[in-house]
Amino acid sequence: MITDARVLQQEFIPREVQHRDSEVNYLSSILEPVTEGNPTEPTLLYGPSGAGKTCIAQYIVEELRGSVVDLNTQYVNCWEDYTRFKTLYQLLDGIGQAYDIHRQSTPRDLLVDRLREYNDTPYVVILDEVDQLQDKDLLYDLCRMRDLTLILIANREEELFSPLDERLHSRLRNANRVHFTQYGNDEIASILRDRARWGLAENAISSTGLQQIADRAAGDARVAIGILRKAARTANQEGHSRIRSDVIADVVLEAKLEIEREVIDRLTPHQKTLYNIITDAGEIAPPALYEQYSNTVDEPKTERTVRNYLAKLEHYNLIVADGNTKARIYRARS
DNA sequence: CCTGACAGCCCGGGAGAAACCA
DNA sequence: TGGTTTCTCCCGGGCTGTCAGG
């Protein structure tokens, strides 16, 4: 039934995109100077998850690569490479300048200096989940490099700027902004229809099946594609030639869990313990949480470190922290 | 009380220098 | 002398104490 599994993967970049014509056209026009070999102002893409930000950005960059001969590009996911060093390393890697860089014993500012010295062909850089970047000063440094064309992706614009980042704020004040709104159910269904056409056997899923998935995905294309993938696999394993409605219903929860699992798997054992305690409890106050945590693990970290972990879990949207002052409550998501 | 920003400490580990050895 | 081992230096990154602020 599955004819091309890649199409059902999250990372797949389609050769044509739907329902984002205005965004695509606008982004293309912004990047127009690059086709002439000139860098351009930073661009900020923001909007809810699963709204196509990453996909569109990569799609545009692929198109550019097709039409511009001398062009360097790099995609960095700042969730994975969240430190200054790692991000810079990826950026240097994109222009083949990272071969002799090691974590240690590289002079402190060599990476940023080397990137600054670069003024060869245009260099278009996508920084995804840029709000996860630990050191926002890096953005400031990157903005000042005129040869770099930056595409920054974040969920909400405010998350990118803490009130204190006045320098960064003024630097990005006149950046181009593209706002992505959530997909409607019909749009999701039609995206799924394409994926099914490219990746599944003919008639493997009905229109009502696609609509059913779209209804459950709540405007998040990532979730929708995850459900489709899971449903196709399950139907395959059970030897069906079509994805039946009951199979879809069965895998919805599982597919959503799988997406959350991907996030959780990146946590350290201690962070996972905290996450489990909070989800098991539903909601819990800080002292009780720490108490339970230190009873669970062998060598508990200090309260201060646990606070760091909790901030991280909240940032990842795995938990909710209610109440900013005393009487804070940590609770499980939704 | 609890948080979050800040700064200092320590650890692991790579590179190059220094010491060692045949 | 040339090759090998050890030492020293330095870095990033994780952890933690402190402290102002709500």
pLDDT tens for each residue of A107-144: 767 888 889 888 788 999 999 999 888 888 888 889 88
Chain C bases closer than 7 angstroms to a protein Cβ:
9-18, 21-22
A240 beta carbon < 7 A from strand C? Answer: no
Cα A159–chain centre separation: 14
What confidence tier does A162 reach under pLDDT thresholds 50, 70, 90?
A: low
Calculate the average pLDDT of chain A.
91
Residue A120: half-sphere exposure toward Cβ, Cα within 13 Å: 14
pLDDT tops 70 at residue A164: no
**N-term to C-term CA, chain A:** 35
**Residues A18-43, mean pLDDT to the nearest whole number:** 93
Cα–Cα distance, A165 to A145 (Å, whole number): 18
More confident residue, A187 or A169: A187
Q: Which residue is nearest to nucleotide C22 (CA to C1')?
A: A325
A163 beta carbon < 7 A from strand C? Answer: no
Chain B bases closer than 7 angstroms to a protein Cβ:
1-6, 12-16
Specify the pLDDT at position A157: 79
Mind listing the pLDDT tens digit for each residue in A295-306? Answer: 999 999 999 999
Q: Which two tokens stand for residue A113?
A: 């200096």
A102 beta carbon < 7 A from strand C? Answer: no
Q: What angle do CA A94, A225, A42 make, to 5 degrees?
A: 35
Contact, A247 vs A238, CB < 8 A? Answer: yes
**Residue A176, beta-bridge partner list:** A43
Mind listing the pLDDT tens digit for each residue in A92-106? Answer: 999 988 877 877 667
More confident residue, A64 or A103: A64
Mind listing the pLDDT tens digit for each residue in A194-206? Answer: 999 999 999 999 9
The distance (Å) linking the CA of A115 with the C1' of C10 is: 22
A305 beta carbon < 7 A from strand C? Answer: yes
**Residue A154, beta-bridge partner list:** A46
Nucleotide nearest A303 (Cα, C1'): C16
pLDDT tops 60 at residue A163: no
Using a 7 A cutoff on CB, list residues near strand B.
A 102-105, 162, 164, 285-287, 304, 307, 310-311, 321, 324-328
Q: Which residue is nearest to nucleotide B16 (CA to C1')?
A: A105
Specify the pLDDT at position A235: 96
> Which of A26, A14, A27 has its CA nearest to residue A193?
A14
Gyration radius of chain A's alpha carbons? 22
The distance (Å) linking the CA of A228 with the C1' of B13 is: 45
Q: Which residue is nearest to nucleotide C10 (CA to C1')?
A: A105
The distance (Å) linking the CA of A135 with the C1' of C8 is: 30
The distance (Å) linking the CA of A49 with the C1' of B12 is: 37
Q: What is the pTM of this model?
A: 0.90
Mind listing the pLDDT tens digit for each residue in A268-296? Answer: 999 999 999 999 999 999 999 999 999 99
